[in-house]
Amino acid sequence: MRAHLARVDAVIVQAVIAGALSFSHLHDLAAAAGQDGWKAWAYPVSVDLLLVAAWRRMRQSQRAGQAAGGPRLWFLIALAASLGANVATAGLLDLDDVPAWLRVTVAGWPAVAFFGGTLLAHAPHIQEQPREPAASTTAAEPESRPASPVAVELPAPLTVLEPAAEPVAASPPAPAPAVALPPALVDRVRALADEHRSTTGHPADPDAVRARLGLPPSMTASVAAHL
């Protein structure tokens, strides 16, 4: 705890020293550029306020996952003004003979700071995205609930099953009527039947004879009538 407080105190002291030096350099530069009296003290306040406002708006935009190009631009402008004053008062610039362009820059700074501060102040309000709470690693203990009554299933009433109707047997299709064959075809049928009987010793099958003659299946009855 003491180490943490020591680090915080060191950061605060360093920030106060840096802020005081930068404030003094900006005052000296503004006074050398012709802004005397209270005006020379107002310039450091204007630069530091614009720097802080741009930094806060930039951080809000980044946390909300939005573009922060505008606030970043004004932050760099205020940082350049502060850093430029620190460098100019380090002996690189004769404060007794300030160039004209620097006088113009210092005189135009209030308008620039007012414009940037207005844009930052009237920018749409950015709502930060809420962070999702971390899931708890410990499982919650189950709550004690009263035991629910056990449902008892009653036997279903007996139902008398009626005998199913016997299926009606479908009548076989009526055989096709025999068609009279020409005498030449009758002789051919009988010759094939005799050949089969002499070869196998069994009567010939009408369907086999019909197939050998190349007749359609509907002629089987006609061939059987002549065997």
Residue 50 confidence (pLDDT): 92
Residue 213 confidence (pLDDT): 73
The DSSP 8-state label assigned to residue 23 in this structure reads H
Residue 102 confidence (pLDDT): 87
Residue 139 confidence (pLDDT): 45
Residue 95 confidence (pLDDT): 79
Q: The pTM is what?
A: 0.49
CA–CA dist 59, 47 (Å, integer) = 19
CA–CA dist 27, 36 (Å, integer) = 9
Residue 77 confidence (pLDDT): 93
CA–CA dist 122, 105 (Å, integer) = 25
Report, as ranges of residue numbers, the positions in the chain whose pLDDT lies below 70: 1-8, 125-179, 223, 226-227
Which residue matches tokens 């007996």?
158
Residue 8 confidence (pLDDT): 65
